[in-house]
Amino acid sequence: MFAPGAGRPLGVAAGLLVLGFLLELVHLLPLSYPLLALLILGTGFWAFFAGFFRDPERTIGDGIVSAADGIVQAVTEEGDRTRICVFMNVTDVHVNRMPLDGTFSRIGTSGSGYRPAYRPDADQNVSRTYDLETAYGTVQVVQITGIVARRLVSFVHERDARRRGDRFGMIVFGSRVDVLLPHSRLTPVVRPGDRVWAGRSTIARVRV
DSSP state of 89: P
Helix (H) or strand (E) holding 75: strand 70-78
| Choice among 66, 127, 175, 201 that is catalytic | 175
Amino acid making up residue 55: D
Compute the 3-state secondary structure of the chain and give helix, strand, coil in percent, each to the nearest 5. Answer: 20, 40, 40
CB 162 within 8 A of CB 139: no
Annotation marks residue 175 as catalytic: yes
Please list the active-site residues: 175
